[in-house]
Chain A
Amino acid sequence: MLDISDAALRFGRHELWSGLSLRVEPGEFVAVLGANGSGKTSLVRAILGLRRLSAGTLRVTGGPRSIGYVPQQRRIDPLTPLRARDVVGQGLDGHRWGLGRRPGRAELIGEALDEVGAAGFADLPIGLLSGGEQQRVRIAQALVADPRLLLCDEPLLSLDLRSQQTVTALVDRRRRQKGTAVLFVTHEINPVLPYVDRVLYLARGRFRTGTVEEVFTSATLSELYDVPIDVLRVNGRIVVAGLPAEAAHV
């Protein structure tokens, strides 16, 4: 689905990362973690085809159009003239020129809204929905065009715990049912812990990939950050202690 090999990204002389290789298979759930400024967002933009790699190759099966993109939750103006179903519709044909509509459009939108449990507020203005409801609509918007890769960029940010669980569970169900590959950018591992197959951890121009057990160890993170770090497991949650200030919220 996604095949990145020996990729590098630089801004002038500043190198975000290099030698990055990552393959995401159909139905796989890969989480991308790292501090602010570690190049997570640039990686997302490169995958979407909005940024060129400085070196290496990046291939998405079916091209950028076969990616479903879920951004982070942002405030939407209450007067925005769109209902939930219109936002989903934009995911289906918002990029197409002209006024013609494909047959079966309304059914596809209805199915996508059903899938995320948003049918009950399909006709409400998007700006009047709660943050969690808006994120469910955004997932429907990403899923309606039947993507092969679901790219989620901090979709849990500023959501309450219950909405976080709903959103991650929805993403997980989709990849199990339809084999959609998932690349999930997050700064917090615990909400995705029950679902994640592998982790890509970016820090200070370096990175590690592997299972949660392989990456979230005191030894690996200490090596990545060059400072002693303790990784603890408490009641099924992972607690990381001793992170440098710029990554303290991870």
Chain B
Amino acid sequence: MGNSNKITNDILKSICRMSSLSLTEDEQADIIEQLNSIASLFDEVNTSPDGIDDLRTENYLSPDKPKLFQNVKGLMKNVPVKEENLVVCPVMSFKGKQK
């Protein structure tokens, strides 16, 4: 993990608040070490330091539109909600009015 993304005490407090979890001070010290150790693994897929993003240069995905299920042909055909005014989400179907 690059230094810019290192998990600090302040970041940990912030993610604890977002996760509705609390940690004692001793636990905080331990978990920061563990999280940074695990997160070091993530450098494998992080943007490289010179700014060249080797995974994106080959147009696997457009930046803001992940095509998570593009290789499962016919998957969307199985989503049970097909009425015109309903929104369909690829992970779970839910009913909501489109604007």
A and B part of one assembly = no
